[in-house]
Amino acid sequence: MTPSPPRVPGPQLGQRYASAHPAFAVQVDPTPVPQARWALRNEALADAVGLPASWLHSDAALDVLAGNATLEYSAPVATVYSGHQFGHWAGQLGDGRALLLGDVRRDGQRTEIQLKGAGLTPFSRMGDGRAVLRSSLREFLASEAMATLGVPTSRALALVTSPLPVRRERVETAAIVTRTAPSFVRFGHFEHFAHHHQPDALRALIDHVCTDLWPDLGRDFTGDERVAALLLRVVQRSAELVAHWQALGFCHGVLNTDNMSILGLTLDYGPFQWMDAHVPNHICNHSDQGGRYAYDQQPQVVAWNLQALAVALSAACDSDDTEPLVQALRAFAPHYAQSLRQGMARKLGLGEVNETSTGLIHRWFDLLAEAGADHTRSHRRLSDTLRDASDWAALQSLPQAMQDELGGGEAVQAWWRDALAHWRVDSPQALGQALCQINPCFVLRNHMAQEAIDAAEGGDFGVAEQLWTVLRTPFDEHPAHARWATEVPSWAASLSISCSS
């Protein structure tokens, strides 16, 4: 038996989730790593969640976030879940390489703190309990970029590295990301207790979510009504989340039910991608041969996952009448459509959602697809073009910048004429300035992450720091890093990102 890692003083954490039911989690010590080093630290996030930012500069914090020590008065746990992977029941999964250290409170808001890659747990199955530097750095930067773009997501508090060798397609080195979220509860947690006929645990889980995370549901509903109200809330949040992704050209890559957050957060960054060229059936995950999780499949696959959640939740209902759950599921399509229309109307400066703006949005997506235009840059060029125009008269014919992105064909010309007629704002500059605060210059493209990874694997986190700085203010132009906004190098297309991380 390996001895437990030493305990060190530090912030006092609660263990709210694990204490809600004995079946939820098992206590697990992290497995130490050699020569742990800080790579990235997020002081602003520490402060926001209620951890002293100074703690992130202590040796004790490095030990705790590397898994080389545990905090006094708190015991890390691994939670159990099951789920559907690529459309098939996969059985028990669970935190195979994640450890929940506990939760911290600030201003009444609880935040869970989790290590990813801190060693084996009872749920590691065939895995080694580790995460490699490559995927950990991608997760760190992507989750922070996502948060800045206003999309619900888990966050990244710290990245710690170790020279410990980790075998994937090649031998790489280990890293541990400390993630935070109000809750890491997944659809798969519910599926687990439903599938394993543990109605008490399933009801306790529902009560935990409805009292701790959405107290209005706990207050306003009981029994079967609470279950249906919870499903409706998750349907709405999930619809809003996937609408954000579609508007941003973001592909998650592995939308298995165990990667779906009950809170509608972007969770488990793996082979994700912010698309370069807008290709509707783009597949970012090299392991996804059938394209189940292609960009244009995401809304329906999220709806499929919600059905799996509904089936699990039905096991907690007293009544056999599934109609209230079916009703909640039916809310997905209209809520998604409305969320996407609102988000895209904002991105295109179209104001109110009505028939004309909806038509313009559909046609815009068609133009992007037809031209294979760069998703992020096209929205930004539109914003810049409006911002830089002297007046509306100067925009009467299709501007060169838009032709460069979308081509000069009749459909583009017609879209431009119709959009001009729709943009009823005093000046194009005012509209453009507003759009420049909505449409980023910078997203974390695969090749940018790869540049940071290549440098980091050589021990240099300078590129990662630069990228993080740019992604923290992605609406600014950052002239020194303009190439990250404008050029996608030809080698980007040959990057192959798979589930193996």
Question: Which option in Mg ion, ligand AMP, none does residue 93 bind, with CB closer than 5 to 8 A by kind?
Answer: ligand AMP
296 carries an active-site annotation: no
At its nearest, how many Å lie between ligand AMP and the CB of residue 127? 2
Contact call for residue 96 and ligand AMP (CB under 6 A): yes
191 close to 84: Cβ distance less than 8 angstroms: yes
CA atoms within 13 A on the CB side of 16: 20
At its nearest, how many Å lie between Mg ion and the CB of residue 82? 12
Exactly one of 103, 258, 288, 374 is catalytic; name it.
258
Beta bridge partners of 85: 88
Binding-site size, ligand AMP (CB under 6 A): 17
At its nearest, how many Å lie between ligand AMP and the CB of residue 298? 16
- Which of 166, 208, 158, 152 shows the shortest CA–CA distance to 185? 208
Q: Which of 47, 128, 418, 476 touches ligand AMP by CB under 6 A? A: 128
Contact call for residue 499 and ligand AMP (CB under 6 A): yes
Q: Cα(144)–Cα(130) distance, rounded to whole angstroms?
A: 21
164 close to 33: Cβ distance less than 8 angstroms: yes
Question: Which option in Mg ion, ligand AMP, none does residue 96 bind, with CB closer than 5 to 8 A by kind?
Answer: ligand AMP
Distances from the Cα of 298 to the Cα of 164, 249, 357, 384, 435, angstroms: 36, 11, 23, 29, 26
Contact call for residue 112 and ligand AMP (CB under 6 A): no
Binding-site size, Mg ion (CB under 5 A): 2
Contact call for residue 259 and Mg ion (CB under 5 A): yes
At its nearest, how many Å lie between Mg ion and the CB of residue 393? 53
Contact call for residue 409 and ligand AMP (CB under 6 A): no
Print burial letters for 245-278: b (CB count within 10 Å at least 16), e (below 16).
Answer: bbbbbbbbbbbbbbbbbbbbbbbbbbbbbbbbbb
- State the distance between the two ends of the chain, measured CA to CA, in whole angstroms: 28
Q: Which of 29, 63, 95, 276 touches ligand AMP by CB under 6 A? A: 95
Contact call for residue 129 and ligand AMP (CB under 6 A): yes
Q: Which amino acid is at 10?
A: G
Residues 6+ apart with CB under 8 A from 410: none
At its nearest, how many Å lie between Mg ion and the CB of residue 254? 7
Contact call for residue 93 and ligand AMP (CB under 6 A): yes
57 close to 64: Cβ distance less than 8 angstroms: no
Q: Which residues are catalytic?
A: 258
Give the residues lining the site for ligand AMP (CB under 6 A).
Answer: 93-97, 123-124, 127-130, 254, 258-259, 268, 270, 499
